[in-house]
């Protein structure tokens, strides 16, 4: 017998079904005794915080899991809830072992909703949202950095081209070819919508395309020399390698070997089971000195990318005759 809408109405308003909605939304519940500092939480909240299920829980038990950089701010916010008027919300990080989570705590202040000296609220795991926000901020910062570098590159390419051409038409034609090559390099590392197979490239091909715009005669034949074994670079690593090469080449064009007519660049690589080692060697440019002050955004981004996804290292040797950069990465990570 088919149930009618009237038959289902009691089920619609059944409290346990509404509780299911709370669980489905990832909402966990808490109540707080404002006098004794004692907390009561549902099972999901205990699991969220990674603490044993028990009755005698207070703020300090939770505080031990709050990220040290957020702990004082959260403690002050909890203490201030009595003076706040209406709803409040605070986002903060917690550590469960080596895992970092973002939590949003929400409730009411100024005695609103207090029953027998108890306040009520919820915890929500907002880790995915925060990671997405951080990703967007990183992308925006990287895009801003790339645009600035592209303007510098275009200016540098114009100067290089002017030194190797004798007429405005020849310069325009050659500069157009260089900028087109730069565009191909960016296309190589741009994700393609609807692509079904994970893209990959050979390291030698990738370096050739990325460095071609900077060479007076083209990669492999001019003052930029590349010698690498047949090594595959996976989808995610392509972008990281491109970022590293882009940053090194831009800096070389500004201050290093590529800023000089006599400057040369050698990029060599050795691949073993435990590591792929890429060596970037500049020679013949201005005298080199180690930079002073704080690390720039591009350098920070490169270091974070190499030590993060590639699980490798990047070292700089500021030899007077030319910069030498040694990049070591995990072969398995390079292929992803």
Distant-in-sequence, close-in-space partners of 78: CB < 8 Å, separation ≥ 6: 59
pTM listed for this prediction:
0.47
Same domain, residue pair 279 and 136 = yes
CATH number at residue 113: 3.30.450.20
Statement to judge: residues 325 and 190 lie in one domain: yes
Share of the chain above pLDDT 70, in %: 75
In a shared domain, residues 102 and 118: yes
Q: What is the pLDDT of residue 118?
A: 74
8-state DSSP, 4: P
Contacts of 171 (CB under 8 A, 6+ apart): 161, 162, 165
CATH code where residue 142 lies: 3.30.565.10
**Residue predicted with more confidence, 20 or 110:** 20
Alpha-carbon span 137 to 135, nearest angstrom: 5
Domain boundary among 125, 151, 186: 125
Q: Give the domain range for residue 324.
A: 130-334
In the predicted structure, residue 252 carries a pLDDT above the cut 90: no
If asked whether residues 174 and 302 sit together in one domain, one would say: yes
Residues 217, 69 share a domain: no
> In the prediction, which pLDDT does 327 show?
92
- Is the domain of 154 the same as that of 12? no
Residues 109, 160, single domain; the answer is no
The predicted structure's pLDDT at residue 113: 57
> 261: closest CA among 288, 289, 226, 286?
286
| Residue 29: exposure state from Cβ atoms within 10 A (0-12, 13-18, ≥19) | middle
Number of domains composing the chain: 2
The verdict on 81 and 101 lying in the same domain is: yes
115 and 146 housed in the same domain? no
146 and 287 part of one domain? yes
């Amino acid at each position: 017998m088919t149930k009618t809408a009237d038959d289902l109405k009691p089920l619609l308003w059944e409290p346990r079904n509404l509780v299911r909605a709370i669980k489905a939304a990832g909402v966990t519940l808490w109540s707080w005794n404002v006098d004794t500092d004692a907390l009561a939480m549902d099972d999901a909240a205990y699991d969220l915080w990674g603490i044993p299920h028990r009755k005698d829980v207070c703020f300090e038990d939770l505080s031990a899991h709050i990220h040290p950089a957020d702990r004082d701010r959260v403690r002050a916010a909890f203490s201030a809830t009595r003076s706040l008027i209406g709803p409040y919300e605070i986002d903060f990080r917690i550590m469960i072992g080596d895992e970092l989570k973002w939590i949003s705590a929400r409730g009411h202040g100024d005695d609103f909703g207090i029953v027998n000296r108890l306040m009520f609220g919820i915890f929500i795991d907002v880790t995915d949202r925060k990671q997405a926000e951080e990703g967007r901020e990183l992308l925006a910062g990287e895009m801003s950095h790339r645009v600035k570098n592209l303007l510098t590159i275009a200016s540098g390419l114009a100067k290089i081209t002017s030194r190797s051409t004798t007429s405005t038409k020849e310069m325009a034609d050659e500069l157009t070819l260089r900028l087109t090559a730069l565009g191909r390099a960016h296309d190589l590392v741009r994700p393609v919508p609807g692509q079904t197979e994970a893209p990959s490239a050979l390291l030698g091909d990738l370096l050739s395309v990325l460095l071609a715009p900077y060479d007076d005669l083209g990669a492999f034949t001019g003052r930029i020399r590349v010698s690498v074994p047949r090594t595959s670079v996976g989808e995610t690593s392509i972008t990281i390698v491109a970022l590293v090469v882009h940053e090194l080449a831009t800096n070389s064009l500004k201050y290093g070997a590529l800023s000089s007519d006599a400057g040369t660049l050698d990029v060599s690589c050795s691949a073993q089971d435990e590591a792929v080692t890429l060596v970037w060697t500049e020679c013949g440019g201005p005298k080199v000195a180690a930079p002073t002050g704080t690390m720039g955004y591009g350098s920070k981004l490169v270091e974070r990318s190499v030590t993060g996804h590639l699980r490798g290292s990047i070292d700089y040797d500021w030899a007077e005759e030319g910069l030498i950069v040694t990049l070591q990465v995990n072969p398995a990570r390079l292929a992803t």
